[in-house]
Structure formats: C-alpha cells, structure tokens
Amino acid sequence: MVNERVRRCMLRAGLDAEALARAAQVSAKTVDRWLRGDVVPYPRTRHRVAGILREDESYLWPGVVDQAALAGAEMVAAYPRRADVPGQLWTELLQHADRSVDLLAFAGLFLTEEHPDWMRLLLSRAQAGVRVRLLLGDPRGANLAARDTEYKISGGVAGRVRAVLAYYRPLARVAEIRVHDTPLYNSIYRFDDEMLVNTHVYGIRAAYTPVLRLRRVDGAYFGAYLESFERVWGSARSLPDDEAGDSRAGQAAGGAA
C-alpha cells in the first residue's frame, strides 16, 4: 500500500525520491520502497526523515511508533502551583513564538503585573506577523460573577479583567481580543507548539493550583487543550470599545485566574 502521507509531505517539501534520499543518506531505491509501503525505515532514519519533512514520525509511520511513549513525551513538566513555574519561562516562550500565541483566562493579570517585558514582547510578536489571540472573561458574564462568589472577593475578578483589558487595548490593531462567558476549567497559554495549562480547583485561586507544561509531539495532550481553546474562541464575542475602560480596580484581589 502506498504511503500517501510520506508522498504528500515530499511534494509539499518540493522533494523527489532522489532529493530525499540524498538528505536522508539512503538510496533512491530505499525511498521508493518506503513510498510503496514495502519497508519502514529504522528508528534513526525515521527521525532524520521526519526532520527533513517537518512532520512527526507518528504521522508518517503511525503503525510503528509507540503512541503511549509519544503521549508521555508531550508532558515536559508539572508544577504544583503557578508560582512554582520559573518566572522567565513565560517570556522565553513568548519571545520564541513565531506562528501563534493564544491566551485563555478570566484575567491572567499576573503576566502584565509580574513580567515587565510581557507587553513589549507581545506587541513585537504581533507586529512580526505572529497570530495573537487574547480570550478573557466577560466582565458582564454569569461565569465571572460565579467565580467572584467562589473566591468571596466581591467583584474582584471582574475588576481584574477590566484592568487587564486596559493593558491589552492598545494591541487591538495587531491582535485579536475577545471576551467569553464560559466556565473556566483551565487557563491556557499557548506559544506555537509549547503550552502552559493552569488547572483550576474549586475554591483555590489560580496562583496556587497546578500548571502543566506541554510540548506538542503527537497531540495527545496538546490537541485536547487546543480544541478547548478553539471552542471557547468560537463562542466568544469581540470586545466593544466601551468595555475595556482604564480602571485598575481589583488589582489588589490577587491570584484570580
């Protein structure tokens, strides 16, 4: 059976059998045998070809890759609290993003308050052509009000959202900003193929709940959270000009999502 995935990836990369063979350090006849499905490359060669074609091994040869091992490889690190995430990691991941930056939270005000370079880097990434999507809680929404009740901070979460929207408003020309009224099960911070997921626990503020660091390999973990982001994004609404405001009210109510 023809390996259509390898064939199409070769076409996309502009490589014929001889060109791929030279790059992979094998014979053109060997590449032809891969394409016919007669043989599968040895692990080291699979890794080399995947790099040449800019695809995962699990996509090119799904039948021979240990899916459980790939899923485990996506979990780079886990931190018991958001405060335990190395401080420089947030801006390092942002600085190296060259395709997509996605943020889903109610506020995520800690990024603008605790990381002086965050806004400058976010603006520079957006101006460089990176797709930046900021998805924040709707200050008028029922779910933000419910989180206020849960934390017992009397409007503090909504205040933090208005504060962070004031920070992000100047980016509206180069970034997409929407507000959502959905239950926030996790805050998601995606930088190309890297992701930080701040899990949420009832009654405990986000600063004190676990964070997962993921790196996309075959998408077992990464894909689930990315799909969640896309679903919330699809149900969210654009932010009208009169909703950002310039208030910094509620910034003292630390730790909200």
What's residue 7's pLDDT? 92
How far, in Å, CA of 20 to CA of 18, rounded? 6
Decide: 250 and 151 in contact? Cβ < 8 Å: no
Specify the pLDDT at position 243.
53
Please, are residues 238 and 178 in contact by the beta-carbon 8 Å criterion? Answer: yes
What pLDDT score does 226 carry? 93
Tokens 């190309």 locate to 192
SS3 content of the chain, % helix, strand, coil (to 5): 50, 15, 35
Give pTM, 2 decimals: 0.70
b/e per residue 59-79 (b: at least 16 CB within 10 A):
ebbeeebeeeebbeebeeeeb
Going by C-alpha positions, the residue among 244, 60, 69, 42 that lies closest to residue 140 is 244
Q: What is the pLDDT of residue 254?
A: 41
Nearest to 55 by CA among 6, 4, 1: 6
Phi-psi region of 133 (alpha: psi -120 to 50; beta: other; left: phi over 0): beta
Domains of the chain, CATH where assigned = 4-65 (1.10.260.40), 73-243 (3.30.870.10)
* Ranges of the chain whose pLDDT falls below 70: 65-72, 152-155, 218-219, 240-257
pLDDT digits (tens, 9 = 90+) for 197-228: 999 998 888 999 999 999 887 667 888 999 99
Model pLDDT, residue 223 = 86
Residue 249 confidence (pLDDT): 35
17-42 confidence digits (pLDDT tens): 999 999 999 999 999 999 998 999 98
| Residue of 128, 218, 230 lying closest to 178 (CA atoms) | 230
Place of tokens 């029922």: 142
Which pLDDT value is given to residue 118?
Answer: 97
